[in-house]
Copies of this chain bind each other. A is one copy, B any other.
Amino acid sequence: MNNMIYVAIVEDDTEIRESLSMIIDSTPGYSCKQVFSNAEDAVAQLSQEDPDVVLMDIELPGISGIAAVSKLKPVLPDTDFIMLTVRDDDSTVFDAICAGATGYMLKNTPPNILLQAIDEVQVGGSPMSRSIARKVLASFQKPEPNPLSERETEILRHLCEGHNYRVIADKLFVSGHTVRTHIKNIYQKLHVSSRAEAVRRAIEDRIV
């Protein structure tokens, strides 16, 4: 019984909740340790227990599943949280991931795939529904090519490091005047008018 996988469920829809717990309990090697119908109860009680995996609904009455994970993950670092959701819109996906979710499945996922997902997190994976995985990878892809010349890009990199005119000039073996001119051109091309904005664009869009 040492290789039994203990699962907890947080889900407000009674039908789904009971159906999930039944499926898990009836599968050899899996045990549904606890079920909660809201995040508050889960946060309060789950920190005492130590489930291997928590299936966490996102759309809950009261505090959301994402907030619950934020609270629980720090006290249960070895527990893997798999989010369940009906929607796969960008912001919730990324919020959940940032909160510490290890997997992210859509609710229409067939039970056998969900069980696979539970296995998957147990062996160090991160199961994601198709559309989620695609979104996550897409978020890494650079939006648009950078309009800056090579030299300007180099200087922008230095700006991100917090270097000032003088330092950049020294490092690039050009005069401070030149650096200033480049920076002015960078601002124009990026449609910004300060270091702060330029650094932000640099990090959020391309170089870093």
> A residues engaging B (CB < 8 A)?
94, 97-98, 100-102, 120, 123-128, 130-131, 133-134, 136-137, 140-142, 159-162, 164, 192-197, 199-200, 203-204
CB–CB B102/A134 < 8 A: yes
Tell whether A136 pairs with B137 under 8 Å between CB atoms, given A159-B196, A160-B200. Answer: yes
| Identical copies in the complex | 2
* A142 contact from B98, B162, B204, Cβ within 8 A: B98
Residues of A contacting B: mostly = helix
Q: Besides the contacts A127-B133, A133-B133, A162-B197, what 19 more A-B pairs have beta carbons closer than 8 Å?
A: A98-B140, A98-B141, A98-B142, A120-B130, A125-B130, A125-B131, A126-B130, A128-B133, A136-B136, A136-B137, A159-B196, A160-B200, A161-B196, A161-B197, A194-B195, A195-B195, A195-B196, A195-B199, A200-B203
CB–CB A126/B137 < 8 A: yes
Tell whether A102 pairs with B162 under 8 Å between CB atoms, given A131-B125, A199-B199. Answer: no
